[in-house]
Amino acid sequence: MSDRIDKVNQALRKEIGTIVQFELKDPRLEFVTITYVEVTRDLQHARVYFSVLGDAKRIHTAQQGLESARGFIRRIVGQRIQMRYTPEIEFSFDETMARGLRIEGTLDDIKTKERDQDTHPA
């Protein structure tokens, strides 16, 4: 990936994160974090990854909130970031954090079982 695309990814992530966190008043977007942005090589499209604490319903609700604010977010990004063309935005849930929490929970369960076996041998 080129340095230019990396810079665009970082600038978009920072700007969209700021917009979502401080400028949108949609309650569906509470606790939403923009984790990563991937723009295409031609800078025409951007996939914006987000995470949110909660269950599948909370994730779906946050996705709907982001989708409804997509045009506003794109317009503000276009005003603040000097690019010839503001990319089309697509939102995707970033499962990295959720996957990490599941792994951590599984490891904690294993540790608890091992500790129980050590204190209460069969």
Q: How far is CA 82 from the centre of its chain?
A: 23
| Residue with token string 């946050």 | 62
Q: Output the CATH code of domain 3-94.
A: 3.30.300.20
Please give the pLDDT value at position 102. 79
Q: In sequence order, which residues have a C-beta less than 8 Å from that of residue 98 and are 6 or more positions away? A: 51
Mean pLDDT of the chain: 91
| Domain definitions of the chain by residue range | 3-94
Provide the 10 A C-beta neighbour count for residue 20. 21
Tell me the pTM.
Answer: 0.81
List, for residues 40-96, the tens digit of each pLDDT value.
Answer: 999 999 999 999 988 889 999 999 999 999 999 999 999 999 888 999 999 999 988
Q: In sequence order, which residues have a C-beta less than 8 Å from that of residue 36 and are 6 or more positions away? A: 9, 13, 48, 49, 94
